[in-house]
């Protein structure tokens, strides 16, 4: 049985699952679908073609599914899809996609979006990511799984961040960050591997293989693409291959301090 406060406004056509809680003065638009066991706190706005999965917790004053902040948007049918078991804290702003970017913004499952986080149009986020307070993702940004973004960090449009990467707080990121790596600064540069995150999820031999690959790629002064191609062909580690494949396919380049 769902619990809906009498002051909440739910438009005809909205689909509300089982055991959903909707707090005072919340607004739910007519094209919204909300999955079972989701809680929506007071003064939250959810509109547009927005689909929210099961077990999500959405805190007060979140604005979800409002039209994209893109001057080219002209009322097209666009979408926001949110997976299961996410925590979306106060004053977050999550926009749907745009026609020029595939028409969908997609958030996976098990993520934590802290207060004042903004996800621009056509952003794609994997599972189990943490975005700290005030993290701001411009349009078309893509995050893998288990990515951590520090507080007050803006990320330039079209940037791609790989699995298990971490971006330090108060950084400004304009280029791609490969999986398993740590970056920080304004502008952000690679500082090494995200060892704390890796130790929580990987065996020692996998981490050692990544350490060796990182040294060859970023610390020995050899041409990055050449090293990535060689390691991709020679390494037996799937993690190293993933790292090298990301580098080889990066469109915005990798920010690191090149050895002379």
By annotation, the residues acting in catalysis are: 121-122, 139
Beta strands 57-58 and 87-88, pairing class? parallel
The angle at the Cα of 191, spanning 135 to 243, to the nearest 5 degrees, equals: 90
Can you list the pairs that 195-198 forms with residues at least 24 positions away whose Cβ atoms lie under 8 Å?
196/166, 197/146, 197/148, 197/164, 197/166, 198/164
Residue 228 and residue 234: Cα distance in Å, rounded? 10
Question: Rg of the chain over CA atoms, in angstroms?
Answer: 20
Residue 30 and residue 26: Cα distance in Å, rounded? 13
Residue 155 and residue 1: Cα distance in Å, rounded? 41
Element (DSSP H or E) covering residue 229 = helix 224-234
Q: Is 243 helix (H, G, I), strand (E, B) or coil?
A: helix
| Three-class SS of 8-24 | CEECCCCEECCCCEECC
DSSP string, 164-199: T-EE-TT-BB-S-B-TTEEEEEBTEEEEEE-HHHHH
């Amino acid at each position: 049985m769902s619990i809906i406060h009498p002051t909440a406004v739910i438009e005809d056509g909205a689909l509300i699952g089982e055991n959903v809680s909707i707090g005072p003065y919340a607004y739910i638009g007519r094209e919204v679908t909300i999955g079972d066991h989701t809680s929506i706190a007071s003064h939250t706005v959810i509109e547009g073609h927005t689909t929210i999965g099961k077990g999500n917790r959405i805190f007060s004053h979140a604005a979800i599914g409002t039209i994209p902040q893109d001057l080219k948007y002209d009322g097209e049918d666009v979408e926001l899809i949110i997976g299961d078991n996410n925590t979306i804290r106060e004053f977050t702003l999550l926009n749907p996609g745009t026609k020029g970017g595939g028409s969908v913004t997609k958030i996976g499952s098990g993520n934590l979006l802290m207060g004042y986080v903004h996800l621009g149009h056509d952003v794609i986020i994997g599972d189990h990511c943490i975005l700290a307070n005030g993290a701001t993702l411009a349009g078309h940004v893509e995050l893998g799984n288990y990515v951590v973004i520090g507080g007050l960090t803006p990320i330039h449009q079209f940037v791609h961040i790989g699995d298990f990467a971490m971006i330090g707080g108060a950084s400004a990121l304009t280029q791609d960050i490969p999986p398993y790596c740590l970056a920080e600064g304004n502008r952000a540069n690679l500082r090494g591997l995200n060892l704390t995150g890796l130790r929580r999820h990987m065996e020692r031999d996998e981490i050692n293989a990544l350490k060796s690959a990182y040294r060859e790629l970023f610390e020995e002064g050899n041409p990055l693409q050449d090293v990535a191609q060689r390691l991709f062909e020679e390494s037996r580690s799937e993690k190293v291959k993933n790292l090298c494949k990301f580098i080889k396919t990066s469109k915005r380049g990798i920010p690191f301090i090149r050895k002379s």
